[in-house]
Amino acid sequence: MLGNWFKTSLLMAAVVALFGIVGATVGGAEGMLVALAFGGAMNFFAYWFSDKMVLRMYGAREVDAASAPEYYGVVHELAGRAGLPMPKVYLIDEAQPNAFATGRNPQHAAVAATTGILQLLNARELRGVMAHELAHVKHRDILTSTIAATMAGAISSIAHFGFLFGGRGGDRPNPVVAIIVMILAPMAAMLIQFAISRAREFGADRGGAEISGDPQALASALQKMERYAKGVPMAAAEQHPETAQMMIINPLTAGGIAGLFSTHPATADRIARLLAIAR
């Protein structure tokens, strides 16, 4: 728990520092002050509202025991087994089979799954997937991953400081340096995500296996989702690749820059570890 709080605090501090450096590069002292203020405001917004923003990006709608009885019932049963408060449950109208958890703590958590995953998986496999997501909630990974997604998108907007402050006053920044910094800012956001993403999935797989008591079900689900997800693009994920690291399976099909947001360990390695736990 303390490790994740430290990572989150370090991430938020790094974002403010990056905003300040880029602001100073493209706008001098004035640009740095405005960028620092913007970075601080982004931290406040990300802590309190980033989960709602991510859910809105995916057009997620909240469901209950009446509107999605099997799905809601699985989450309710597993939350009880894990000793967690009941999270809010969301459904995303997307054909790609995928799921994620979000929120700032277990008391304000949400889990979301696509309609594609409900159609693809059997009840046992769905149970394995939702146990994985609840393990993220229990490990308090969700705040770090949600803030990372929000910040990565926001850092790209630092480039606008070049237009707002470039060329003002007598301390006009070197345009070549400004361009380099504006290119590196989004790359820095990706590096922040790489630093926090990969090991978490292995931990959530193990935690999910413990919560469900059925590691083979999660292994089977991962195998199915990996096969289907590659051929079924998810529009919202392609538009917001910074959120890809929140998903149980990499949702991105695009190459190039979007491909750099692929932060998941190899599915085959995850399945091998789950089967080892089962044995």
Give domain limits for the chain.
2-278
pLDDT reported for residue 240: 79
Q: Are 106 and 54 in contact (CB under 8 A)?
A: no
pLDDT reported for residue 2: 47
Nearest to 263 by CA among 276, 275, 278, 252: 252
Whole-angstrom distance, CA of residue 142 vs CA of residue 126: 20
Instruction: Give per-residue pLDDT as tens, 92-146.
Output: 999 999 999 998 889 999 999 999 999 999 999 999 999 999 999 998 887 777 7
Q: Are 242 and 189 in contact (CB under 8 A)?
A: yes
**Locate tokens 């790094």: which residue?**
14
pLDDT reported for residue 156: 60
Q: Are 111 and 101 in contact (CB under 8 A)?
A: yes
Consecutive 10-residue averages of pLDDT for the chain (279 residues): 61 72 71 75 70 90 97 98 97 96 92 97 97 94 74 62 51 58 62 64 94 96 90 86 85 61 80 92
Q: Computed over its alpha carbons, how large is the radius of gyration of the chain?
A: 20
CA–CA distance from 253 to each of 63, 201, 257, 273 (Å)?
A: 28, 19, 11, 25
Nearest to 140 by CA among 86, 204, 95: 204
Residues tagged active-site = 133
pLDDT reported for residue 197: 60
